[in-house]
Amino acid sequence: MIRLPAFTYVAPKTVDGAVRAIVDAGPDGMLVAGGTDLFPNMKRRQFEPRALVGLRAIGELRGVAGSPREGMRIGACTTLTAVATHPEVARGYAGLATAAGLVSSPQLRNVGTLGGNVCVDTRCNYYNQSYEWRKAIGFCMKRDGDICLVAPGSPRCWAVSSSDTAPVLWSLGARVRLVGPGGERTVPLAALYRDDGIEYQAKRADEILTEIVLPPADGWRSAYLKLRRRGSFDFPVLGVAVALRLEGEVVREARIVLGAVASLPREASKAAAGLVGQRLTAETIAAAADAAAGPAKPLDNTDLTHPYRKKVTRVYVARALARVAGFDDGTSLEAIA
Ligand SMILES: Cc1cc2nc3c(=O)[nH]c(=O)nc-3n(C[C@H](O)[C@H](O)[C@H](O)COP(=O)(O)OP(=O)(O)OC[C@H]3O[C@@H](n4cnc5c(N)ncnc54)[C@H](O)[C@@H]3O)c2cc1C
Ligand code: SF4
């Protein structure tokens, strides 16, 4: 059994209390919600915080409010199960309900939170290993070492953004509320991420993500597809989030965001722009899928081979668009993919 390193734990009851606690803890402190990502990482000595500030006792961070018509607010500590099974979320933001319901396993979704999923650490085959494994290969720059073992000449880490919900929330135009010692701010979820496997978040370490704000769902339809080896609980090796605003049969706005292909969710803007003003047909879907596969440049540092993941990107984008269009039966899919 791998044991956790020693740490102190505080569980404030308010957001203000949590901000004070994380500021007091300084650089040795970390926030924890469900702990389903952080605790395994601590066991592998990827993080060794001396102080943890638990967020689960803060009632104001839990719950879902609003409706698809007016927009919805989801507390950061709402469990993934609660998000996946919420009828209004499923009605207005189908892609989000799907993504939340595909994270890991039922047990972990009962504990893991939406906020934790948005902030989940980037992953790499050379990093998500025990301390002894990593030591045996000389470590890498994400933790304890100097070079990148995937791209040894590279000055940066290419660990992969592996959140299921982040690409969907990005595609839905979600915003996040952050509260820290300097006050609070609400920013587009897309602004939370940086293209760097180590410094993958743009927020300050002492800022707490308190809620996710979804815009009105009026006219928008969304879908999420996930590629992984085991359907039961693997992280995504590819996630495809599609959100379209339709007027009748014509696409008025479109967003396609790919997960697990880079250190941050990757928006396929050109592919989405090509759909605007078009009807969804086998031809327009195939053209968008071709264009979307372009920005996907998976590296050889997660499960399945990277050429295969790139090929499947095209197929999954086509399938996600077909699902939103409502004609994802086998015949149409064969024509598209
Ligand atoms: C076997 C296994 C399989 C998994 N499969 C998947 C998968 O398929 N897809 C997937 O996306 N994830 C997967 N995970 C990872 C994890 O379970 C989920 O991402 C989960 O949603 C994390 O939420 P949490 O509340 O447990 O986060 P925690 O572990 O508590 O925190 C994760 C990170 O977020 C930070 N954080 C948490 N909440 C906040 C907040 N409110 N404000 C600021 N920072 C915060 C923490 O400091 C930490 O850095 C898996 C984990 C395991 C162990
Ligand atoms: S991408 Fe390179 S630096 Fe980053 S975790 Fe993997 S091996 Fe380490």
pLDDT in tens, 233-275: 899 999 999 999 999 889 999 999 999 999 999 999 999 999 9
Give me the residues paired with residue 227 across strands: 238
Taking Cα atoms as reference points, which of 256, 79, 229, 109 lies closest to residue 171? 256
Q: What is the DSSP letter of 229?
A: S
Pocket test for ligand 1, best of 103, 128, 178 (most atoms within 8 A of CB): 103
Q: What angle do CA 237, 239, 240 make, to 5 degrees?
A: 150
Ligand 1 in contact with 31 (CB < 6 A)? yes
Alpha-carbon distance of 8 to 274, in angstroms, equals 52
What is the reported pLDDT for 295?
67
What is the reported pLDDT for 5?
96
Q: Is the pTM of this model over 0.85?
A: yes
Run of H or E including 284: helix 282-293
What is the reported pLDDT for 138?
95
Q: In terms of residues, how long is the chain?
A: 337
CA of 150 to the centre of ligand 2 (A): 6
Indicate if the pLDDT at residue 336 is higher than 70. Answer: no
Ligand 1 in contact with 246 (CB < 6 A)? no
Beta pairing class for 64-67 and 71-75: antiparallel
Ligand 1 in contact with 113 (CB < 6 A)? yes
Is-contact 90 236, C-beta < 8 A? Answer: no
For residues 25-39, average pLDDT: 97
Give the confidence band of 326 by pLDDT, cuts at 50, 70, 90: confident
For residues 195-206, average pLDDT: 97
Ligand 1 in contact with 108 (CB < 6 A)? yes
Give me the residues paired with residue 147 across strands: none
Q: Which residues of 101-131 are buried (b: 16+ CB within 10 A; e: fewer)?
A: bbbbeeebbebbbbbbbbbbbbbbebbbeee
Q: pLDDT tens digits, residue range 79-114?
A: 999 999 999 999 999 999 999 999 999 999 999 999
φ, ψ dihedrals at 209, nearest 5°: -80, 120
Q: pLDDT tens digits, residue range 285-296?
A: 999 999 998 766
Which ranges of 201-281 does DSSP label H, i.e. alpha helix? 269-273
Alpha-carbon distance of 54 to 21, in angstroms, equals 10
CA of 157 to the centre of ligand 2 (A): 5
Q: What is the DSSP letter of 297?
A: -
Q: pLDDT tens digits, residue range 121-176?
A: 999 999 999 999 999 999 999 999 999 999 999 999 999 999 999 999 999 999 99
Ligand 1 in contact with 74 (CB < 6 A)? no
Give, using CA atoms, the residue closest to atom 17 of ligand 1. 36
Indicate if the pLDDT at residue 330 is higher than 80. Answer: no
Give, using CA atoms, the residue closest to atom 41 of ligand 1. 209
**CB-based contacts of 179, cutoff 8 Å, min separation 6:** 15, 19, 207, 208, 210
What is the reported pLDDT for 97?
98
Beta pairing class for 29-32 and 51-54: parallel
Give, using CA atoms, the residue closest to atom 40 of ligand 1. 209
Q: Within 10 Å of residue 230's Cβ, how many Cβ atoms?
A: 8
Is-contact 235 228, C-beta < 8 A? Answer: yes
Give, using CA atoms, the residue closest to atom 5 of ligand 1. 104
What is the reported pLDDT for 298?
73
Give the confidence band of 192 by pLDDT, cuts at 50, 70, 90: very high
Portion of the chain with pLDDT greater than 70, in percent: 96
Give the confidence band of 328 by pLDDT, cuts at 50, 70, 90: low
Indicate if the pLDDT at residue 59 is higher than 60. Answer: yes
Indicate if the pLDDT at residue 300 is higher than 90. Answer: no
Q: Which of 98-102, 132-136, 223-227, 331-335 has the lowest mean pLDDT?
A: 331-335
Alpha-carbon distance of 217 to 144, in angstroms, equals 45
